Structure 1
Amino acid sequence: MIALSLAEIASVLGGELRLHGSDTAETIVSGVVDTDSRKMVPGAVFVAKPGEVTDGHRFVGSAVASGAVLAIVEHPVDDTVSQIVVADVIEALAALAKEVVARVRAKGDLRVVGITGSNGKTTTKNFIARILQDEGETVAPINSYNNEVGAPVTMLRVTETTKYLVSEFGASGAGSIARLAGLVEPDVVVVLMVGLAHAGGFGGIEKTAQAKAELIEAARRGGTAVLNIDDPRVAAMRPLAESREMRVVGFGRTDAADLRASDVEVSATGTTCVVHAGAEALPLRMQVLGEHHVSNALAAIAAAGALGIPAATAIARLETVEIAERWRMQPMGGDRVRIINDAYNASPDAMAAALRTLAQIAAPGQRTVAVLGAMSELGEADGEEHDRIGLLAVRLNIQRIVVVGAEARRLFLAAVGEGSWDGEAVHLPDQDAAFDYLSGELRDGDLVLVKSSNSAGLRFLGDRLGESFS
């Protein structure tokens, strides 16, 4: 965080400053800001967030022991550290992030990129950050820090020397993207796709589309909107962007795209295509697995172009990326059995894309194994979408379908109903049972995909399998 006095922070937050020890209102704070007491370092600011399971106010002491010099709280705690008492620490966190970014913008040339979409946000964020980091100091979220806590915490890592801030925006409901993106008013916004991820929480896919469009409404007037024109719901956001005097860059696989990919090929060593940028036809050879990542790469190249970085330069930097993110199409295992751990998240679109990748990259005669868990937050579409994935796995001729957990049982039943009934599909109650089964079932040469929503936790099963067969 930039250097601010305790008095300045209290003023920004509209809170009551309670000083401790030798601190004065003019004492300067410039450390990291976080809600996790385990991430405190000397000079840090601890935000005591109340939670459903525990309360951050209980951990002020441990935060101070690790070096925190200020606590932002909703009620006074013991007097071991200076505190600012506010009505709502989450609102205070947002207010502080907004102020810090505004001050850095006012003093320098900070440019902000905002990303949203039902799938691909974190991968695209990593792609964009990789391109930008060679241009200057770049701040981007760790993992998927894209909610009411993670997004402001990321923003607060900005300093006076930061050139680029890349923000990822998830949506917990209507208005959430507008609130978060409104803190920074991005110069460049990227909308990747509108799918069924979290659709149950929004009340349907059209409401999801409205939520994603909030990013455009929160962008700086006259900026750039990077839109996936292969997705009709995203393409339909063009008039909204144009009403805000924004330049629109469409990316996709069709001839209508401003930035287009052709000749896409997927193999066990990566993904290749030709990127058409104006009159240029540029080869792209990604180490990242999966045809679906071509769209994410196009979005990153387009966003970089909006910031003045040539497509050829962006492509050269993308080619150095080895994996999209931990637990996202992450190759594991060894020469005997190859594991692809893609179990950080799973919407129906992402699940289908991962299964198609498994089928595409398998060598002739190589046995494919899909270890699948539940997809969460689908609302009324839950049963139908699990059915669809079960059918797809069979139709892609995945030789072994291992379904884990009671919430995914319908996927298993759909696979059996489609013809995978002679031992090709099995249903196991939990990760331990699945690990035991797979330890005996997998054989030399197998190619294994592990895929589920985060809540199903199969990423840890993927780690165990990767270590076991390394």
Structure 2
Amino acid sequence: MRVTERLVGTAALALAPAWRRHLGAGDAFRVIGITGSAGKTTTTRMLAACLGTLGPVSHTDRLVGRLNNAQTAARHILATRRHHRFCLYEMGAGGPGTMQPYIDIIRPHVGVVINVAGDHYTAFRGLDETAREKGTLVEALPADGIAVLNADDPRVAAMRTRTRAKVVTYGFDAQEVDVRGSQVSAAWPDRLSLTVEHAGETVRVQTQLLGVHTAVAVLAAVTTARALGVPLADAADAIATVAPADGRCSVHEADGVTFIRDDWKAPLWSLDATIDLMARARAARRILVIGTISDYPGASSPKYRAVARRAVAQVDELIFVGPAGHRAHLQDHVPGVTSFDTLETLHTHFATHLRAGDLVMLKGSFKADHLQRIVLARTGGVACWRSCGRSTSCTDCDLRFTPGR
């Protein structure tokens, strides 16, 4: 972090509590915290669209990638103005005790918990530990607040005992929920749609999202919007306008080839959803590219081989890129798999291999892989093929056009 940025962050921490008190509380102004192992950004974007039908919304879409620290929470509160009716904050967890500092800063009225999954294995070493941390959000809610909980996830559903706030539930399979989702459909090129029912009213929600796995984020957003007074039909109309966030199954076209970039993160547990999306897809050739897989116990090679065995029969071509996949000697263990040790060699391969009508899924870790360069090389150019570990998007990086390996 640069010195100037550090000083700004320190100043924000000092000023934010007073400004938060100035913003007030009650029905005229609501702070909503959104947490979960996956789907936070998508839920936040859709909820912002829904609540925007009632009044101005301050939310963290512009802060994606810098969410898991108190300084960012402080900056977001300072960017919120008295004319805003809602303030949305996407809350990650970097380890035990990391959420409380920015909960103290934003002082949420509403807490939304989407799921508890294996994204945080490196930090928590277990789902119960992850749930314990995520649940600090609902513990902090006031008695007149609202906890919005996924009833299909037992660890999330159990959080109802940890809050004094009103509990509103959503789900697809749970026996008793306040808002129910059903009839989920998503098979590329078709986008996700689902039916949502609340208090005897039913609406079909058509989205721009990809994959059935994103349905839970839609349902979380609709449930929260209804709890805050948005009519069900208005919520459905608002959600229809929201495109996928960059790198969260965002769609990019180049030379007749369609790329799906799901390259923000790739925890081991999430690969099943990626494989399912590609298995359902309709395209001339379905090509799945997997980079760095994260958050799992034990050695890496057996995990990569297991993923390869699950995926190879579900797509037309399966490609691994990066040192971990290359070290696993996948081509020797799983027939039909291709492996490249660097992103540049994969780009060279694609230059002559891809053809119009292909569907290419890029699944990996943003910092470790920067798979977006495969698309940038075909659309706007890129000269840098470094393994840099930067958290900066390659689109905005000062090294994008500087040759390097």
Asked if 1 retains the 8 angstrom alpha-carbon contact of 2:58 and 2:86, the reply is yes
Asked if 2 retains the 8 angstrom alpha-carbon contact of 1:333 and 1:468, the reply is no
Q: Describe the SS at the equivalent of 2:372.
A: helix
Q: Is 1:113 aligned with 2:32?
A: yes
* Counterpart code for 2:176: A
Aligned to 1:427: 339
Correspondence for 1:128 among 37, 47, 50: 47
Aligned to 2:317: 400
Aligned to 1:14: none
Aligned to 2:268: 348
Say if 1:125 and 1:375 are closer, same or farther in 2 by CA, change over 3 A: same
- CA–CA separation in structure 1 for the residues paired with 2:25 and 2:109: 14
Asked if 2 retains the 8 angstrom alpha-carbon contact of 1:270 and 1:290, the reply is yes
Q: Is 1:56 aligned with 2:20?
A: no
Say if 1:450 and 1:302 are closer, same or farther in 2 by CA, change over 3 A: same
Aligned to 2:159: 237
Q: Describe the SS at the equivalent of 1:389.
A: helix
Aligned to 2:309: 391
* Counterpart code for 1:234: V
- 5+ residue gaps in structure 1? 1-50, 60-71, 74-88
- Mean Cα displacement is larger for which, 269-278 or 114-123? 269-278
Describe the superposition over 1:63-98 as per-residue Cα deviations: whole angstroms up to 9, x where unpaired: xxxxxxxxx84xxxxxxxxxxxxxxx7565334223
* Counterpart code for 2:210: L
Q: Is 1:212 aligned with 2:159?
A: no
Say if 1:387 and 1:103 are closer, same or farther in 2 by CA, change over 3 A: farther
CA shift, 1:170, in A, is 0.7
Say if 1:101 and 1:466 are closer, same or farther in 2 by CA, change over 3 A: farther
CA shift, 1:281, in A, is 1.9
Higher relative contact order (CA 8 A, sep 6+): 2
Give the alignment of 1:7-26 within 5 angstroms.
none
Correspondence for 2:357 among 418, 428, 445: 445
Asked if 2 retains the 8 angstrom alpha-carbon contact of 1:271 and 1:285, the reply is yes
- CA–CA separation in structure 1 for the residues paired with 2:238 and 2:291: 34
CA shift, 1:426, in A, is 1.4
- CA–CA separation in structure 2 for the residues paired with 1:277 and 1:153: 36
CA shift, 1:394, in A, is 2.0
Give the alignment of 1:408-419 within 5 angstroms.
408-409=325-326, 413=330, 417=333, 419=334
Say if 1:367 and 1:155 are closer, same or farther in 2 by CA, change over 3 A: same
- CA–CA separation in structure 2 for the residues paired with 1:333 and 1:293: 21
Q: Which has the larger radius of gyration?
A: 1
Aligned to 2:192: 271
- CA–CA separation in structure 2 for the residues paired with 1:153 and 1:384: 43
Say if 1:274 and 1:345 are closer, same or farther in 2 by CA, change over 3 A: same
Say if 1:332 and 1:121 are closer, same or farther in 2 by CA, change over 3 A: same
* RMSD (Å), alpha carbons: 2.5
- CA–CA separation in structure 1 for the residues paired with 2:308 and 2:328: 5
- CA–CA separation in structure 2 for the residues paired with 1:198 and 1:446: 33
CA shift, 1:412, in A, is 6.4
Asked if 2 retains the 8 angstrom alpha-carbon contact of 1:108 and 1:160, the reply is no
- Mean Cα displacement is larger for which, 108-117 or 332-341? 332-341
Say if 1:386 and 1:236 are closer, same or farther in 2 by CA, change over 3 A: farther
- CA–CA separation in structure 1 for the residues paired with 2:131 and 2:116: 6
Aligned to 1:282: 203
Give the alignment of 1:363-374 within 5 angstroms.
363=283, 366-374=284-292
* Counterpart code for 2:114: L
CA shift, 1:318, in A, is 0.3
Q: Is 1:308 aligned with 2:220?
A: no
CA shift, 1:159, in A, is 1.0
* Counterpart code for 1:205: L
Q: Is 1:252 aligned with 2:172?
A: yes
- 5+ residue gaps in structure 2? 382-405
Describe the superposition over 1:201-224 as per-residue Cα deviations: whole angstroms up to 9, x where unpaired: 122222111111111112223311
CA shift, 1:450, in A, is 0.4
Asked if 2 retains the 8 angstrom alpha-carbon contact of 1:127 and 1:297, the reply is yes
CA shift, 1:333, in A, is 1.7
- CA–CA separation in structure 2 for the residues paired with 1:411 and 1:162: 52
Q: Is 1:327 aligned with 2:263?
A: no
Say if 1:461 and 1:170 are closer, same or farther in 2 by CA, change over 3 A: same
* Counterpart code for 1:157: A
Say if 1:226 and 1:130 are closer, same or farther in 2 by CA, change over 3 A: same
Q: Is 1:193 aligned with 2:115?
A: yes
TM-score by length of 2: 0.85
- CA–CA separation in structure 1 for the residues paired with 2:203 and 2:45: 21
Aligned length: 377
- What is the aligned-residue identity percentage? 29
Give the alignment of 1:146-225 within 5 angstroms.
146-148=67-69, 149-225=71-147
TM-score by length of 1: 0.74
Say if 1:326 and 1:284 are closer, same or farther in 2 by CA, change over 3 A: same
Q: Describe the SS at the equivalent of 1:375.
A: coil
Describe the superposition over 1:140-195 as per-residue Cα deviations: whole angstroms up to 9, x where unpaired: 11124421133222222111211110001111111111221121221111111111
Asked if 2 retains the 8 angstrom alpha-carbon contact of 1:238 and 1:248, the reply is no
- CA–CA separation in structure 2 for the residues paired with 1:182 and 1:145: 18
Q: Describe the SS at the equivalent of 2:186.
A: strand
- CA–CA separation in structure 2 for the residues paired with 1:381 and 1:151: 36
CA shift, 1:466, in A, is 5.6
Correspondence for 2:279 among 336, 348, 359: 359
Aligned to 2:389: none
Say if 1:189 and 1:107 are closer, same or farther in 2 by CA, change over 3 A: closer
